[in-house]
Amino acid sequence: MNIKIDSKAIKYIRSKDADTITIDLMVGGACIEVGEPIVYIGIPKEPVAKYTKHRISSIDVYLYKGAEPKVKAITVTYKNFLGFKSLGVEGIKLW
């Protein structure tokens, strides 16, 4: 699995004194379940056995095993919307 972290995302992660992120799928919906990819700083909230661990740019990345790439690489990005800073992820199939 090819995972990339853009330079702004790396800077943001390090600004939080962190070296671990988790790429997960948040599942929700009433009639139809929808998986939405999310990224957060820290180790997985679920058992670690549900994730594969990767080391990228000195950052541990836990990727949910059910996440399927829709392109060659999954990319972790930095987002700043109206002053709200967060991480995003691109390249994961939604189901």
CATH topology of domain 2-90: Hypothetical Protein Aq_1857; Chain: A; (2.60.300)
Residue 25 pLDDT = 86
CA distance to 27, 32, 74, per residue, from 44 (Å): 15, 25, 18
Q: Taking a C-beta distance cutoff of 8 angstroms, is the pair 25, 38 a contact?
A: yes
Band (pLDDT 50/70/90 cuts) for residue 67 is confident
For the chain, what are the domain ranges? Answer: 2-90
Pick the closest to residue 12 from 21, 3, 4 (CA basis). 21
Band (pLDDT 50/70/90 cuts) for residue 80 is very high
What CA–CA distance (Å, rounded) separates 84 from 71? 27
